[in-house]
Structures are given as C-alpha cells and as structure tokens.
Amino acid sequence: MNMQSIRNIILKSHYDREDLVHLLQLRDPEKAELLEHASGIRKKYAGDQIYFRGLIEFSNICRKNCLYCGIRSAHKGLKRYNLNDEEVLETARYALDCNYGSIVLQSGELESKHFTGRVNGLLNKIHQHTGGRLRITLSCGEQNRETCLRWFESGAHRYLLRIEASNPELYGRLHPGDQKHLYSRRLECLYDLKDIGYQTGTGVMIGLPFQTIADLADDLLFMKQYDVDMVGMGPYLEHENTPFYHLRNLLPGHFERFQLTLKMIALLRIMMKDINIAATTATQTIDPSGRELAVDAGANVIMPNITPVKYRQYYSLYNGKPFINETFPDLEQSSDFPGIKLNNQIAYGEWGDSIHYLKKQGS
C-alpha cells in the first residue's frame, strides 16, 4: 500500500477493526505520520497543556494473584507496606507545594470494611489538609457499588480501573480461574463507576503473552464503546517473580512493545479526541524519553511518582521501574524528569479534568 493510501486511512473519521489492525502494524515513515496527526488532534481538541498527577502508591498489599504482576498475593518474598495517614497527608501536601493540581492514590486490590473506611478517611483528611485544592483519582481495584459511591461522596473525583485486556478469553489467561478474578466483575465495576458519576478511566497492557494485534484493535474499540473519560495504558513489562516470566523470550522485544504503545496512544487520541491519556511510567522504563514521546503521540497526562522513597522499591509491578531511589527534589532537577523537557506545556496548579467528561456533564 502506498503512502497516499495510508494517509487516506489515517484521515478517516471512523476506524473499524480492519483499519486498526492495519494501522497498528505501520512502520516509519507511515508510523511517523500517524503520530504527527495524533499530536495535532491532541492540541486541537484537548489543548497543548500537559497535566501532572502526583502518584502516591500508599500500599502494595493485594488480595489478587494476577499472573503478570509483581505485587501479586503469591509473591511471598515481597516486603509489604502501608503508608500511615500522616505519610499520605505529608505527600499530598508536597504535591500541593509542587503546584500539582491533582494526585492519584494507588494501592493493591483489597476489599474489606477496614480498607473502605481507611480510604474514605484519607479522602476526607486530604481535602481538609489541602483546603480542597487537589483533585483526587483513586486506583484501588474492584469494589462494590456501595463502596464506590461512598468514596465518590467523600471527594474522589476520578477512578482508574484498568481492564488490562478487553478480550474475556485473554483476560482469563492472565488470571487464576477463581471467583477473585472474574472478567464480568471487573466490567460490572467499570459500569458502576461511570453510572455513579466518576471521571472513569481504564487501560490495557500492550505486548502481553497470548495477545494479538487484533486483540489490541478490539481494546481500542472497547474503550470507544465504553465511552471512557481517561486512559492509562503502556507496554507489558515482565517481573521475575511471576508465572509469566518464563514466557519473556516468546514476546516482542521491549522496543517493539514501546513502539506499539505509541501507536495505541495515537490511535486512541484520534478516535477519542478530547479524553485524558496518560504517558505511563512503563514507557520511560524502556526509553529515557518514553513519556515525552508518548506526549508527542497524543498523551496529555504525566504521573510523577511522589511516593516516599523508602517504599518505592516495594511497589514493584515489573522489573526496572525507574526513579525508585531518587528523592523528589533531586529528580525534578534531573534531565530525565519530564517537566524539564515539557516545562512550557505543564499546566501547574490546574485540575486537568477530562474535557470529554465535562462535555457529557454539560459543563
């Protein structure tokens, strides 16, 4: 297919599955044209600003046993931690002092009366401690509708629950076949979050074992059909203490997974012009400029990890996670910190709500 034919596909107003499969396999120079087009879409519909979300990984305790994840419950050698309330509040205050408009509270997946109350208390304390100046995103896994509603009423404005793989069969191969790991439950929770009124986010891993290009095309169509407000997706990276580690030599190389991630971001930006899309830390694990390149492909959110340094190494979802030992003031001065290269685009002090969500709310 010639360059003009590729351009005609890129410029289509709607992509079907066949289009997406084709575009996900593009190589340069056609791939470069796709990314450039997506970057223009971002600037036109979502703006030229990049929003920071200070990421606080407040606990790595998890009840799930996902076969790809480094904090899975069966990883008995991992030191488990749980920040106390004062540590969370201090970190939230640091985000405010850095002039970030929002934070993300992320943890392993737990469901209990104690955990529900603990998160609810943190939401109330953070709002009191910061004068309500921070937007708060939760990423705490599947919860029942009552819990999600309680947290929403306590000031959780956004919720990120990655589907990881929208193909139920593939999802099943990523998880133990028990009642804790049901695709139907995860999907139900996503729809509850949306119905309650959250700015709802999801996402997938790219380059998984058993995953096909057609699966990724379907992931994009799933996010479009679900009408997501925000997305966090990145390359699958192995962890040595997981059952999937022995499959690593059967997978595309890290660079190929990274390039596929850029194309996924670009295509989703073209398909859903005004949503928020995160440039994930995993991209920077592969390429020191990974998050900046993801922004160039259409992403508009970056989540600097502001978890206290002494805990970061234990939130080890995958091998090679960057910046686990750097103190944050030093990191902000590093040439590897995204703010250095994107400083003129960073929207400091702004909440950065999803334009897509605000339009649906009539705001």
Q: Which residue has the higher pLDDT, 337 or 182?
A: 182
Statement: residue 265 has pLDDT above 90:
yes
What mean pLDDT is predicted for residues 64-87?
97
CB contact burial 59-84 (16+ within 10 A = b; e otherwise): bbbbebbbbbbbbbbebeebeebbbe
User: pLDDT category, 331, cuts 50, 70, 90?
Assistant: low
What mean pLDDT is predicted for residues 184-193?
98
User: pLDDT category, 344, cuts 50, 70, 90?
Assistant: low
pLDDT score at 339: 58
Q: Which residue has the higher pLDDT, 339 or 68?
A: 68
What mean pLDDT is predicted for residues 131-151?
98
pLDDT score at 161: 98
User: What is the amino acid identity at position 351?
Assistant: W
pLDDT score at 20: 97
pLDDT score at 321: 80
How many CB atoms are located within 10 Å of the residue 328 CB? 19
pLDDT score at 320: 81
pLDDT score at 7: 85
Is beta strand 205-206 parallel, antiparallel or unpaired with respect to 276-279? unpaired
Cα–Cα distance for residue pair 130/2, rounded to 1 Å: 56
Domains of the chain: 42-361 (3.20.20.70)
Percent of the chain scored above 90 by pLDDT? 87
pLDDT score at 325: 67
Single pTM value for the model: 0.95
Q: What is the mean pLDDT of the chain?
A: 93
User: pLDDT category, 310, cuts 50, 70, 90?
Assistant: very high
As a whole number of angstroms, the longest Cα–Cα distance in the chain is: 60
Statement: residue 276 has pLDDT above 80:
yes
pLDDT score at 1: 58
Percent of the chain scored above 70 by pLDDT? 93
What mean pLDDT is predicted for residues 280-284?
92
Statement: residue 4 has pLDDT above 80:
no
Q: Which of 336, 328, 304, 360 is nearest to 51 (CA)?
A: 304
Instruction: Name every residue whose Cβ is closer than 8 Å to that of residue 221 and which is 6 or more positions away in sequence.
Output: 17, 20
146-to-98, 113, 150, 182 alpha-carbon distances in Å: 34, 11, 6, 19
What mean pLDDT is predicted for residues 302-326?
87
How many CB atoms are located within 10 Å of the residue 288 CB? 12
What mean pLDDT is predicted for residues 165-178?
97
What digits encode the pLDDT tens for the residues 71-81?
999 999 999 99
